Structure 1
Amino acid sequence: MISLTIHGTRGSLPGATPSPIFGNESICAVARGGGTAAILDAGSGALAAGAALLAEGRTDIDLVLSHLHLDHVIGLPFLPQLLRGDGIVRVHVSERYGPDPGAVLSDLLRPPWFPIPLSRLPGRLEGHAFGDGATLRFGRLAIETAPLHHPGGATGFRLCTGGDAVAVLLDHEPGDAQADTAARHLMRGVRAAVMDAAWTPQEAPGRVGWGHGCWLSCIRLAREAGAGAAYLSHHAPARDDVALLDEERRLRAVWNGALLARGGDVV
């Protein structure tokens, strides 16, 4: 069985307002299945995600990135595994960034933008590039991949072990026929899907091309794919708990199989 622990729910940057219910950290989750684990994305929630795995004795971990925008990688240098001499972090990311993801990340997280080069951290970072549509395997945990609709590109995931499956689609803007077909394929019959729903239906028309969805379009895609439930995430950073609870009431009136993701949720 797959479990997915959500350690970050905010998109674009960590939450700008106190949010004890939905959380303030940017996108990160830990997938567990078949006796193994992998971190998905490394937003500011990565510190807690890495600490949880370290508490299980996992100093050697795999990190799968949907893309390299800052809100999805800002937590990378804070992974506790990289702060140990015996730590290893294998980073898996699309080959659209080139054959050596480690070099790209090292260029991103270095002075003057970050005080310490990744190469100077005690742990070892290894970069691994995968092609569109590749299936990654970590023991008995398989992760199917497909490109999504987002500026600069992003990758969606279908996590499988045994007969269980959960999908993670962050970041994706519905409306591109080819990418929506890929999204539905990743979500086909899954127990649950974690999806990018940054906007309300009222906001979405003014944000076309920004690379994110609204909860109404997410619900439509998830139901078309036969997903059993949807956890809607990538909350706008300035949206507080009161506003998010109000939106959750509205979306659950449309489909009670959907809810807004909260930091700490276990799917």
Structure 2
Amino acid sequence: MSLDSNRFHIKFWGVRGSIPCPGANTVRYGGNTSCVEMKVGLQRLIFDGGTGIRILGESLLSKLPVNGHIFFTHSHWDHIQGFPFFVPAFIPGNHFKIYGIPAPNGATVQQRLHDQMLHPNFPVPLQIMQAQLQFYDLEIGESIQLEDVEIETARLNHPGEAIGYRINWRGLSAAYLTDTEHFPDRLDENVLKLARNADVVIIDATYTDEEYHNPKSSKVGWGHSTWQEAVKIAQAANVKQLVLFHHDPSHDDNFLDRIGEKASLAFPHTILAREGMAIELIPSSPEKAASSVANL
């Protein structure tokens, strides 16, 4: 399936963290876990395979054959649990290159996707997938070049290790920075590097400061950040559009509305990720770009 060579299109298929949370109180923002698709020039890039990737897969069935690149930040369950339900991976003629960092115990991204589909946890093995799947283990800090699309990487602060991505194309840039926890005394240099002057930054904002520092149920050390810290990153890195992402499953639509209001006061160019939301980056000159946001 051919892509428009002159567009940088971002779509959100899953915006939650930790566990899916469908229900009457999460309809507006969505309940599926992390999955973001970027159509950049001639490349289809998919970031994480949470439950949102199932819906993405259904949308691709009318566009066969499909080629794409799937980038995993890490292999915690909420980021890989949708991959066994990604229908295009079962269809011959499709081709996906799959990237991730090895786990601290040395397990490759292929091994971890394979292991979650073994009995007794899943009825069919990875080998039943009939698309051409190629697996690549990344070194943190390396860059990937896909024709005219450059993808930078850096280490994120998360238990068991995670990797962040920055996508550069024709003077436009977007960063995908989840899951990561801020440091108590400084801004994370790796996060700042990937976010620098970016047109869009999609960033972990799981908690509020009050939740993170709650003396009765502290979230310190859990590997996630707050919307207040995300704003600090956006201000320091000169970010054009901040997208708060990886919403806590306990945050219903009304709670997220309130976060959005407060965050927009602190950094006007802030939105909260919603399932179905799309961002189109539009080059207006070699030096500048505009963006449009739509809920589809």
What TM-score do you get using the length of structure 2 for normalisation?
0.85
Q: Which runs of 4+ in 1 moved over 6 A?
A: 176-179
1:59 maps to a residue whose letter is V
User: How far off its partner does 1:177 sit?
Assistant: 7.2
Q: Could you tell me which residue of structure 2 aligns to residue 49 of structure 1? A: 56
Structure 2 match to 1:257: 269
2:190 aligned with 1:182: yes
2:228 counterpart residue number: 216
Secondary structure, aligned partner of 1:52: helix
Rounded to whole Å, the distance in 2 between the matches of 1:88 and 1:178 is 42
SS in 1 for 2:27: coil
Structure 2 unaligned blocks of 5 or more: 1-6, 280-296
SS at match of 1:68: coil
Partner Cα separation in structure 2 for residue 40 and residue 174 of structure 1: 21
- For 2:184 and 2:60, locate their aligned partners in 1 and report how far apart those are by CA, in whole Å: 36
Sequence identity of aligned pairs in percent? Answer: 28
Q: Which residue of 2 aligns with 1:29?
A: 36
- Go from structure 1 to structure 2 and tell me whether the alpha carbon gap of 1:229 and 1:128 turns closer, same or farther (over 3 Å shift): same
**Secondary structure in structure 2 of the residue aligned to 1:207:** coil
Determine the C-alpha separation between the residues in 2 that align with 1:178 and 1:77: 39
- The separation in 2 between residues aligned to 1:54 and 1:187, in whole angstroms, is 33
Residue among 229, 234, 249 paired with 1:237:
249
Find the structure with the greater CA-based Rg: 2
Structure 1: segments with no counterpart, 5+ residues: none
What SS does structure 1 have at the residue aligned with 2:277? coil
- 2:23 maps to what in 1? 17
**Distance change in 2, residues 1:85/1:177 (3 Å):** farther
Q: Find the counterpart in structure 1 of residue 81 from structure 2.
A: 74
1:204 deviates by: 1.1
Distance 2:95 2:118 in 1: 19
Which of 133, 141, 161 is matched with 1:133 structurally? Answer: 141
Aligned to 1:166: 174
TM-score by length of 1: 0.94
Contact 1:17 1:239 (8 Å CA) reproduced: no
Q: Contact between 1:25 and 1:45, CA under 8 Å: does it hold in 2?
A: yes
Question: Could you say what the CA RMSD is over the residues aligned between the two structures, in angstroms?
Answer: 1.9
Q: 1:65 aligns with which of 67, 72, 87?
A: 72
Kindly indicate whether structure 1 or structure 2 has the higher relative contact order, using CA contacts under 8 Å at least 6 residues apart: 1
Within-5 A mapping of 1:70-219 = 70-96=77-103, 98=106, 100-175=108-183, 180-205=188-213, 206-219=218-231
Task: Give distance in 1, aligned partners of 2:58 and 2:22.
Answer: 24
Is the partner of 1:231 in helix, strand or coil? strand
For 2:182 and 2:241, how far apart are their aligned partners in 1? 18
* Contact 1:99–1:129 under 8 Å retained in 2: no
Q: 8 Å contact 2:187–2:233 — kept in the other structure?
A: no
Partners of 2:22 and 2:32 within 8 A in 1 = no
Question: Aligned partner of 1:261: which letter?
Answer: A
Q: What count of residue pairs does the alignment treat as equivalent?
A: 267
Q: Which amino acid aligns with 2:129?
A: L
1:247 and 2:259 matched: yes
Amino acid at match of 1:7: W
Contact 2:101 2:108 in 1 (8 A): no
Report SS of the residue matched to 1:166: strand
Letter in 2 for 1:208: V
Quote how far apart the aligned CAs of 1:243 are.
1.1
